[in-house]
Amino acid sequence: MTTKSVTTGDAPRSTGGFRISLKLISAILVVIALGITGYMTWAKIANVPLECTNEGFINCAVVENSAWAYIVGVPTATWGMLAHLMIGSVLLLEGRQEFFTRYGVFLIFGIALFAVMYHSYLIYISVAVLRALCPWCLAAATTMLLQLITTSLRLRNALASANA
């Protein structure tokens, strides 16, 4: 009986030329997202308005001062920052610890999937209830969506290599 294990889904390919790995793309997205959510968290804690036009439908002030700006007393952006820190931590531990090498891509996929669903809910609230959009919030949602897409590709590769 043979046991197949699932790895990170980022097997190196020797096709020549410059190739960037999906894991590196995920790491870059973590850095970008930490910049966005870090700024949003700092602005909320420092009680400084986000740099935004605040005119018409594009209005960060409406979004950041709404009932949806906090979850259990913690700024929503802070929860996003924590999600990206978790993803970054798992990326760092992949290849270093057996558990994360084997299941890291699944963990990241689960975190990113939940976060994208929550971002979708918040965007719906922004459009349908608040009638205002925050470009910073949309940037955070976009980076998480890109993380989900990247991780989906990594997961597909990992599952394909496990079945090979």
Mean pLDDT per segment of 10 residues, for the chain of length 164 residues?
52 61 96 98 94 89 93 95 98 94 96 98 97 96 98 94 79
**pLDDT recorded at residue 20:** 86
**pLDDT recorded at residue 55:** 86
- Provide the token pair at 77: 């952006």
- The DSSP 8-state label assigned to residue 68 in this structure reads G
Whole-number Å distance between alpha carbons of 55 and 59? 6
Handedness of CA 22, 105, 113, 138 (dihedral sign): negative
**pLDDT recorded at residue 8:** 57
**pLDDT recorded at residue 1:** 46
Whole-number Å distance between alpha carbons of 105 and 95? 11
Whole-number Å distance between alpha carbons of 42 and 44? 5
**pLDDT recorded at residue 2:** 44
Which domains are present in the chain? Answer: 22-163 (1.20.1440.130)
- Provide the token pair at 110: 């689960």
